[in-house]
């Protein structure tokens, strides 16, 4: 599958990311697609994303109402299940334009994506990226990860955090020392 103007479709990007064991995909207007691998960002050789390509990716995973909501509110949190993987979606407005971070969460082979089939309940196993992310001894809360995404992209959200949230540890940091493998 191909996106517009030589860019791959979002499904193709996520298939590559999941097969390689990456935990996140970072996409934004004015930026090249990037993967998070072992705590490091890897930039792809694909073309810089323009608004038309980004709009095409949004249409792959969101309803028209969700897209309208994102452009009205400048942020949206959602999830989507492809036939091979389930992703958490964080959409936000950056200084360059709209951006999204997709967290590769669980394989979505039918019932495997259903919350009742979580590994704690004897069901599906997380994707390779999710296994690596969830292997930290401390774990993380969804809010911690969202705050970290905002900090990494310099979106100026710090003023909206209360004092208890401003000094949270990096979600890839292990108490046993170092960046999560």
| pLDDT score of 39 | 87
User: Taking each helix axis from N to C terminus, what angle separates 51-61 and 10-20, rounded to the nearest 10 degrees?
Assistant: 80
| pLDDT score of 107 | 64
Residue 100 included in any domain: yes
What predicted TM-score, i.e. pTM, was given to this entire model? 0.60
For every residue of the chain, which 3-state class applies, written as one string?
CECCCCCECHHHHHHHHHHHCCCEEEEECCCCCEEEECCEEEECCCCCCCHHHHHHHHHHHCCHHHHHHHHHHCEEEEEEECCCCEEEEEEEECCCCEEEEEEEEECCCHHHHCHHHCHHHCCCCCCHHHHHHHCCCCCCCHHHHHHHHHHHCCCCHHHHCCHHHCCCCCCCECCCCCECC
Collapsing DSSP states into helix, strand and coil, what is residue 163? helix
Total domains, the chain: 1
Residue 83 included in any domain: yes
| pLDDT score of 4 | 52
Collapsing DSSP states into helix, strand and coil, what is residue 147? helix
Centre a 10 Å sphere on the Cβ of residue 159 and count the other Cβ atoms it contains.
6
| pLDDT score of 141 | 39
Q: What is the CATH number of the domain that holds 75?
A: 3.30.450.90
| pLDDT score of 13 | 96
Per run of 10 residues, the mean pLDDT along the chain (length 181 residues) is 70 94 95 92 94 96 96 95 93 95 75 42 45 40 46 44 43 42 38
Residue 170 included in any domain: no
Given a contact cutoff of 8 angstroms between Cβ atoms, the answer to whether 138 and 29 are in contact is no
Tell me the residue range of the domain where 34 lies.
10-110+119-165
Residue 52 included in any domain: yes
Centre a 10 Å sphere on the Cβ of residue 167 and count the other Cβ atoms it contains.
7
């Amino acid at each position: 599958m191909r996106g517009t103007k030589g860019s791959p479709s979002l499904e193709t990007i996520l298939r590559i990311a999941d097969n390689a064991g990456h935990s996140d995909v970072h996409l934004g207007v004015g930026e090249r697609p990037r993967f998070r691998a072992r705590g490091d960002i890897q930039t792809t050789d694909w073309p810089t994303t323009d608004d038309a390509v980004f709009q095409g990716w949004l249409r792959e995973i969101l309803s028209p109402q969700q897209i309208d909501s994102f452009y009205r509110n400048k942020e949206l949190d959602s999830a989507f299940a492809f036939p091979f993987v389930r992703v958490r979606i964080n959409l936000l407005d950056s200084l360059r334009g709209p951006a999204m971070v997709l967290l590769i969460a669980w394989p979505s082979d039918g019932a495997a994506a259903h919350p009742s089939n979580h590994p704690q309940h004897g069901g599906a196993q997380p994707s390779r990226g999710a296994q690596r992310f969830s292997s930290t001894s401390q774990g993380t809360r969804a809010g911690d990860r969202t705050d970290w995404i905002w900090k990494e992209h310099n979106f100026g959200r710090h003023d909206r955090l209360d004092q208890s949230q401003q000094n949270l540890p990096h979600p890839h940091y292990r108490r046993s020392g170092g960046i999560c493998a």
